[in-house]
C-alpha cells in the first residue's frame, strides 16, 4: 500500500537518464556527463535528497521516471543550462527542472550541487 501511495524508494538512475530532456545542453555535454557521473556516485540518501531538490518528492512514481508529474500534468525531468559558473544550481520543482550552470570542472559541479541539495529546504526552491 505504501508503494501505491508514496512511490518507489529505489532510484533507478538509468531510468532517470532515459526520461530526461535537455535545454541548451545535450546528453553529451560535459556538464551533463559530469552530472550523471556524480549522481551515480551518490549514496541512497543523497540521491533521495537530490530527487527531492529537483522534483519536490524523494520518491519515484510507481511507473518510474516516465510518470513524473509537474504542475501541468506529466512532466519529464529537465536539465537546463542557466546561470553563471559562480552560481548554485536552482530547481523548479513544479516543472521537475534543474537549472545547471555551465561549470568548468566536474569538481566544481559536484561542490555546487552538494551545497544546493544539502542546504536547501522547503520553499528555498522555486
SS3 for the chain is CHHHHHCECCCCHHHHHHCEEEECCCCCCHHHHHHHHHHHHCCHHHHHHHHHHHHCCCCECCCCHHHCEECCEECCEEEEECCCCCCCCEEEHHHCEEEECCCCCHHHHHHHHHHHHHHCCHHHCC
Answer yes or no: 94 catalytic: yes
Q: Which of 6, 58, 78, 94 is catalytic?
A: 94
Q: Tell me the catalytic residues.
A: 94
Amino acid at each position: 500500500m505504501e508503494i501505491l501511495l508514496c512511490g518507489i524508494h529505489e532510484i533507478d538512475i538509468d531510468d532517470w537518464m532515459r526520461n530526461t530532456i535537455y535545454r541548451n545542453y545535450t546528453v553529451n555535454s560535459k556538464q551533463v556527463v559530469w552530472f550523471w557521473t556524480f549522481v551515480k556516485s551518490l549514496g541512497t540518501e543523497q540521491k533521495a535528497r537530490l530527487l527531492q531538490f529537483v522534483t519536490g518528492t524523494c520518491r519515484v512514481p510507481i511507473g518510474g521516471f516516465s510518470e513524473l508529474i509537474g504542475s501541468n500534468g506529466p512532466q519529464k525531468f529537465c536539465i537546463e543550462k542557466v546561470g553563471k559558473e559562480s552560481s548554485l544550481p536552482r530547481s523548479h520543482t513544479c516543472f521537475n527542472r534543474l537549472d545547471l550552470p555551465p561549470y568548468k570542472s566536474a569538481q566544481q559541479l559536484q561542490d555546487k550541487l552538494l551545497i544546493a541539495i544539502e542546504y536547501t529546504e522547503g520553499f528555498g526552491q522555486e
